[in-house]
Amino acid sequence: MQKRLILVAVVVGTVLPVVLAGCGGGSTFNAPAVVAAANFLGRAACAVCHSEIDAAFSSQAHGLNFRTAHGRDLIGGFGGACAPCHTTGFGEPSGYNPDGTTPQLEGIGCEECHAPGSAHADAPSRANITRTPNAETTCWDCHVPRYKQLRGPVGATTDLMLRNTAPGQVVVHHPQASFLLGKLGWNLADMPGPHRFVENTCVTCHLNPDPTSISLEQAGGGPVDHGEKALLPDLGTCAHCHGSDLRAKAEFEEFEEEINAALIELGGADPDDPTRPDEAAGGGLLAAYAAAHSIDLTTNAYPDNRYVRRYKAARWNYEYVLAGRAIHNPPFAERLIEDAKDRLSR
């Protein structure tokens, strides 16, 4: 008989039961259905009743002003390429429109996760708002290398996909969902990780549903909110498979140390923090390989050169593990690193 772990998820100030089954999947997730059609209103409308949550959300990475966040305009800038993941309701009826008519929907608002809120604003009820987001229709839209990529068939990354990319410009944006699913490895078959089989994985693990559990940065838990630390993994959800939250924390830290060492070997150490890998891949095996084969990282003059192709493949795997966070899918991370080292040895 499978053991079951009962947690309590607190979302937007309400309590909801979450049931996790064993590591093999087969779990259930009990979320109320949204029964009324609605339009997007914008975060300010939600703040009328949920001012404390709105204030806390402002301190979270998702709650930033993306016109100014990170020193650049991530809504209107770059030809609008970043807008799909930094606005509310992009591509949806009544959602964000890049023509400038929907400034209230700039930024990642409440409705991006909780669905359009006009019906709820008109007559607040648990039945007309999505109280617990579904990761596959929210988180997964943006936590892939390309917006909503997982909605269609997704194969392995190949030489052709990066043929027109300069070697030094091989980067991966927000790939946590595809990494969890073990997709987009360089010429690798899919390798779904064990965490894939936790029901509604992103929400269950990252909304800190158990206030008595420890997180990675604090002990003793605390009130659940939508603030700065709300997205830290809740290690209480790990106890079912790992024995306890303390054991899970120790295993996480040990794995993180091993992966960081492997990544530093591949791409060098961060100049400002030698315990962390270099995001620019300025050292290690990658830099040595580029130098040994006279690969110009700034241009794409020789896309069909076998050494350039091997460098790009290894660089993709390196960047993918860095951006995807190896803990989301440890076997996949190890396979990507092994493959990168193999290519750089030829």
Amino acid of residue 44: A
- For residue 217, the model assigns a pLDDT of 47
Amino acid of residue 316: W
Sign of CA dihedral 202, 208, 209, 213: positive
Can you say whether residue 18 is alpha, beta or left, with left for phi > 0 and alpha for psi between -120 and 50 degrees? beta
- For residue 132, the model assigns a pLDDT of 86
What residues are paired with 269 via a beta bridge? Answer: 277
Question: Distance (Å, rounded) from C-alpha 132 to C-alpha 203?
Answer: 8
Residue 277, SS3 per DSSP: strand
Residues of 94-115 as b/e, b for ≥16 C-beta within 10 angstroms? ebbeeeeebeebbbbbbbbbbb
pLDDT at 31 over 60: no
Question: Distance (Å, rounded) from C-alpha 271 to C-alpha 203?
Answer: 34
Which of residues 205 and 278 earns the better pLDDT score?
278
- For residue 58, the model assigns a pLDDT of 93
CATH 3.40.190.10 fits 36-130, yes or no: no
Residue 138: name the closest of 127, 128, 151, 123 by CA.
Answer: 151
How does DSSP classify residue 293? T
Percent of the chain whose pLDDT exceeds 90: 72
The C-alpha angle 101, 103, 109, rounded to 5 degrees, equals 130
pLDDT at 212 over 90: no
Give residue 211's pLDDT band: very low, low, confident or very high (50, 70, 90): low
Question: Distance (Å, rounded) from C-alpha 193 to C-alpha 182?
Answer: 6
The C-alpha angle 261, 263, 268, rounded to 5 degrees, equals 95
Any idea which of 8-17, 57-66, 280-289, 296-305 has the lowest mean pLDDT? 8-17
Which of residues 303 and 230 earns the better pLDDT score?
303
pLDDT at 236 over 90: no
| Contacts of range 212-215, beta carbons closer than 8 Å, 24 or more positions apart | 212/236, 213/237, 213/239, 213/245, 214/245, 214/246, 214/249
Domain with CATH 1.10.1130.10 in the chain: 36-130
Percent of the chain whose pLDDT exceeds 70: 84
Residue 237 near residue 207 (C-beta atoms within 8 A): no
Question: Distance (Å, rounded) from C-alpha 103 to C-alpha 41?
Answer: 11
pLDDT at 145 over 60: yes
What residues are paired with 277 via a beta bridge? Answer: 269
Q: What are the CA-CA distances from residue 232 to residues 38, 71, 218, 236 (Å)? A: 31, 24, 10, 12
pTM attached to this predicted model: 0.85
Which of residues 94 and 28 earns the better pLDDT score?
94
- For residue 151, the model assigns a pLDDT of 86
- For residue 228, the model assigns a pLDDT of 82
- For residue 225, the model assigns a pLDDT of 63
Which of residues 66 and 234 earns the better pLDDT score?
66
